[in-house]
Chains A and B, each alone.
Chain A
């Protein structure tokens, strides 16, 4: 059974860079979309972006200027960097796996989430 685990600082200062890593176990990273999603205290789920196993990326247009994602299949890890953070970036950050199915793409496995506070 695939498992995902987020790691990284729980506290980031304003204007600095938020960096998180997700470690994947139990399955290959090949052929999947490796995603980051967040939920701020007063909002719903917000898709941040994904890095495909090939290394190609897609980001939320509202965050695109500040986001970068990368993947290291030799370490079974993928990463998120969000720069110039503000209090509005305070949220629980989830890493997740997206898979291709007939007539769709789904997010079928999630990490437990890691809270990040900008202060």
Chain B
């Protein structure tokens, strides 16, 4: 199993802030790393795929970087609708895994 560790587990931020979430894999996942946004009562939403590619329709303030074992999700100029939980997910192995999530709070 490839374990995915996110940090921090939660953070507090204000509208307009720049926020960075980190995800570390227990072994290389090359660029098979995705980021999702999840709000209560809604389906998760794909933000970034293949480590750094922006999913169609996702605002450009979201960006992803990294390869191998270390990855980041950055939100530039945090907006009110961005308060949510963010998950990384690897699809390198045939047993996919999610990180434990990072809750972004006001």
Interface residues of A (CB under 8 A from B): 35, 37, 39, 44-47, 50, 58-61, 94, 98, 101-108, 110-113
Contacts A50-B96, A98-B91, A108-B46: A44 and B53 contacting too (C-beta < 8 A)? no
How many residues in B have their beta carbons less than 8 Å from beta carbons of A? 30
State A58–B92 Cα separation when bound (angstroms). Answer: 13
Binary contact readout B18-32 vs A (1 if CB under 8 angstroms, 0 otherwise): 000000000000111
Name the distance in Å between A40's Cβ and chain B's nearest Cβ: 12
- List 17 contacting pairs A-B, 8 Å CB cutoff, sorted by A: A37-B44, A44-B85, A44-B87, A47-B89, A47-B96, A50-B96, A58-B95, A61-B1, A94-B43, A101-B50, A102-B50, A103-B31, A105-B32, A106-B55, A106-B91, A107-B46, A112-B43
Q: Is the interface of B mostly helix, strand, loop or mixed?
A: loop
**Which chain B residues lie closer than 8 Å to A35 at the CB level?**
96
**Do B43 and A113 touch across chains, with their CB atoms under 8 A apart?**
yes
Name the distance in Å between B45's Cβ and chain A's nearest Cβ: 8
Q: Is the interface of A mostly helix, strand, loop or mixed?
A: strand
Does B75 make an interface contact (CB < 8 A)?
no
Contacts A45-B87, A61-B1, A104-B51: A110 and B43 contacting too (C-beta < 8 A)? yes
Interface residue from A47, A59, A102 paired with B97 (Cβ < 8 Å): A47
Q: Write the chain A residue with the least CB distance to B41.
A: A113
**Which chain A residues lie closer than 8 Å to B95 at the CB level?**
47, 58-61
**Which chain B residues lie closer than 8 Å to A59 at the CB level?**
95
Name the distance in Å between A88's Cβ and chain B's nearest Cβ: 17
Name the distance in Å between A112's Cβ and chain B's nearest Cβ: 6
